[in-house]
Structures are given as C-alpha cells and as structure tokens.
Chains A and B, each alone.
Chain A
Amino acid sequence: MYNVKKYLFLIPILFIFFCPRNVFARINRIRTFNSDYSTTWVDLSVPEGATYATFTGATNSTAFIRLNMTDNFEPNKTYSASFGFCIYVLDKDFQIEFGNLIGGWNVGGGYVSGTPVESTLVDYSHTTNASGRSQYMRCYTQRWQFTTPGTTTYPFFQIGLNTRYQTLNKFSWWNWTIEKVDSDMSDVTNSITNNTNQIIINNNNNTQQIINSQQETTDAINDLNDSLTDSSTDDNLASRFINLFSHNDHALASIVTAPLNFLNSLDDPCQPITIPFKLGGGNNCGGLPVCVNSTFSKDATIQCGDTLFWNKSEVSVFRVFWNVLFGGAIIYMLGFKLFKTINRALDPFVDDINGLEV
C-alpha cells in the first residue's frame, strides 16, 4: 500500500496528457450536398478517431461539406475554432469558398455565418491517382470565431466548395480545437455576481444577528436594572418555593415534602367542613315484624371559627389584642429562631443544613 502511494502523484499528470480536450470538436458525421440542383444531403458517418473520410458515388459537383459536431454549442457563447483540413477532388481543380455557414442551426432556423479570422493555404498538390485521374488537393489551417445564437442545438461547420464539374474524393482534418472564448469570463462574472449576492445576504444575516444579540443584551441589561432597582418584596417566593416541592409522584417524596405542603396550605382561606349524615335503612327493615320506615339524610356543615366567632363585631377588638399576644409570641419565637439561623448561616465554619429541622 505504501508503494502505491508513491505513484499517486502520477494520476494528475496522466490526466493532463490523456484528457480528451478535443472531444467537443470531434466530427461524427459529414454531410455533403449535391449541387446538381438537388436538395438531398448525403450523410457519411465518421467513426471516432478517424482523420479522414472518402466519398464515393453521387458526390459529383458537391457544393457544401457540412461537418456535424458531437456536442452542442452553448447558447450565447463566443467560440474560437482552429482546425486544419484537406480537400481532395478529382478531374479538375476547384475553388473553395469560405464564409458560408459556421456555427449551428437553432430551433428558429437561425445560424451563425461569417468568415474565418485566419485562413492559410498550407499545402497544394496535383497528382494522378492509380486509375489515372487527376487529383487536386488543397489544405488549409483556419481559425474561426463566432457567437452562437440563443438556442443553438445543432452544431456544425460548413465549408462551401466550388466543385462543380469535379468529384469530391476525400476530406481529411487535423487539430480540431473549439474553445469558448468568453465562457471563463462569463462564468467568473456570474460567480462573482453570485458570490457578491451571497456575501450581501450573509452580511444582512450577520447584521440581523448582531442586532438581535444587541437587543438581547439590551433587554438583559434592562432586566438587571429593573431587578436591582425593584424594592418590592417577592410575596410569592414562599409559595413558589413550597410549590416546587409539592409533587406527589412518589410516596416517599410526598412524605418528605408533606410538611412543606402542610405549611403551604396554612395561609389558604378556611373552608367549612361538610360531614354527610345518613340515618336509617330506608325500606329495608331486615324482615322485622315492626319496621320503622324512617330515613334521615342530611349533610352537617361545621363552619369556620371566623364565621362562628372571630368575625363578629363584638370580638373584633379582642381579636386584635389576641393576635398581638398570641400571634406576636409565635412571631417572636420564629423571628428569634430566624435570627439564630442567620447567625449560624453567616458562620464561615458551619456548612450543615439545619433548616429541615423545622
């Protein structure tokens, strides 16, 4: 495994050398148009890897050579195409007309036309083939630059040939390279635009988060100020404390927290106690010869002490003294105990809990 790792760096190098950079421009079909005032295109398929195509049959006086590409052109893109080709005709020299069509048909029937940016005749020959016929060859290197229509779907290059009275015999090509000229820049522009929009969105989100955090901080400071400046006592603290322990989910916990629940119920308003009374058995006399058919059913209500006695106006003054004497004594004892508790709690050497002794 270690030895394999040493050669992993070759993968990108191999990819560079064997990357099919020219796949886009591969010719997969050649169509020739018989210019004998016919509208029939003759298709000649081109196998992959082929560098030439030969023509036989009714290709006399071919006017156009249309080279279909393997992949579609992207719409609204500028392409730069460089290639070389040779055209062979028989019997008579010919003229080549460039600038008929290049690019591709779109759905609406439009196409790109133009002339090559560069066109160089690189080779020319006149030979005689085995059958004794004259064979003329013209080889060119050209570079085209064109912008595709909006909906290009049919990529091709078309070369016009003035081959009337000649016979197209062979077409060969090399170094086909088609590249998008402005694709990178447009992609970069789109990327920059998208990134810029995303940055703006992120900044807006971050700004909103900062605003929210600032608002939370402001609210917290306001709460702190309100808490520090609030001089009112928390009357509900005792009830809330006790209610926190008022759970009866488990029996043992209920017993432990029962004193707290009992304490919590003491300051509730008094409710009179209702005792149901029911005497007699109704019509069921148990088979006795003398049966007293009587039934007494009535609820007995025991009123609270306040209702019976303490709320009467005659004892109101006495109740005040009674509260001062009796209640004051209890309050004094509890206050004294609280004082000792505070002293004990403030002792730095005492950490035990004695509050539950109550």
Chain B
Amino acid sequence: MINAILNGLLTLLSQYVTVAFTPIDLIITNLIPDLSNVLVIVSDFFDILADYGNFVLSYTGLTQSTIGIIVALIFYNIYLPLAVHGIKLALRWYRMLMP
C-alpha cells in the first residue's frame, strides 16, 4: 500500500508536469516555431550530456555503487520535498473541503 501511495504520488507529479507544460509547448510550437527549434536543440544538448555523463564519471574513479548512492541521495533531495509538499497540500485541501 505504501508503494502504491508513492507510485500514485509520482504519477500525479509527472502528470502535473505534463499537463502544465503541454499547452505552453503547443503555443510555442505553433506560434513561435523558431523558438521551438531552439528549445529542441537545447534539449538535444542535454541528451548528449546525458549520453556522455557516465563516460566522464568513469574517469573520476567512482564505482557504480558509489555513483548509485550519490544518485539516490540527489533523488531523495528532490523527491522528499515534493512528497511532503504534496501531502501537506492534500491535507490543506481536505481541511478546506471539510464542513
């Protein structure tokens, strides 16, 4: 059940990002196509960075387990505030909706 709650929260957050950015992206794509191309280039640049990131890391001498711990800590630094904030937001809505 705890996993289900976490998965549901993650899905909710991802859908929130999708819903929030979809209309903006559509506006940019249709009204400012040049800007859209620039954004695509930037996005591709990040993809290239993602492709060579582990290559650079391999020269730092860090093992896969160490890198995994680092990634997990970064992830929890991102995820924990989102989760707590989501729970607080849900509780706030619940209190507002309660008669």
Complex Cα–Cα for A241 and B36 (A): 26
Which 6 pairs, one residue from A and one from B, show the smallest C-beta to C-beta distance?
Answer: A250-B25, A251-B39, A305-B59, A355-B81, A258-B46, A244-B14
Complex Cα–Cα for A337 and B59 (A): 25
Interface SS majority for chain B: helix
Interface SS majority for chain A: helix
Complex Cα–Cα for A256 and B62 (A): 27
Q: A314 to chain B: which residues have CB within 8 Å? A: none
Smallest beta-carbon distance A59→chain B, Å: 93
13 new A-B contacts, CB < 8 A, other than A258-B47, A356-B78, are A234-B3, A251-B29, A254-B40, A265-B51, A266-B71, A267-B68, A270-B54, A326-B60, A342-B80, A355-B78, A355-B80, A355-B81, A358-B74
A255 touches B39 (CB 8 A): yes
Whether A271 contacts B54 in the complex (CB less than 8 A), given A261-B46, A263-B71, comes out as yes
Q: How many residues of chain B are within 8 Å of chain A by beta carbon?
A: 63
B46 touches A323 (CB 8 A): no
Smallest beta-carbon distance B73→chain A, Å: 4
Write 24 A-B pairs (CB below 8 A) sorted by A numbering: A227-B2, A240-B10, A241-B79, A244-B10, A244-B14, A250-B26, A251-B36, A251-B43, A252-B21, A255-B46, A261-B47, A266-B71, A267-B67, A305-B59, A322-B61, A326-B61, A327-B63, A334-B74, A338-B77, A341-B80, A341-B81, A353-B85, A355-B77, A355-B78
Contact string against A for B residues 1-29, beta-carbon threshold 8 Å, 1 for contact and 0 otherwise: 11110110011011001100110111011
From B47, B66, B68, residue with most partner A Cβ within 10 Å: B66
Whether A304 contacts B58 in the complex (CB less than 8 A), given A241-B10, A250-B25, A261-B46, comes out as yes
Interface residues of B (CB under 8 A from A): 1-4, 6-7, 10-11, 13-14, 17-18, 21-22, 24-26, 28-29, 36, 39-40, 42-43, 46-47, 49-55, 57-64, 66-82, 84-85, 88-89, 92
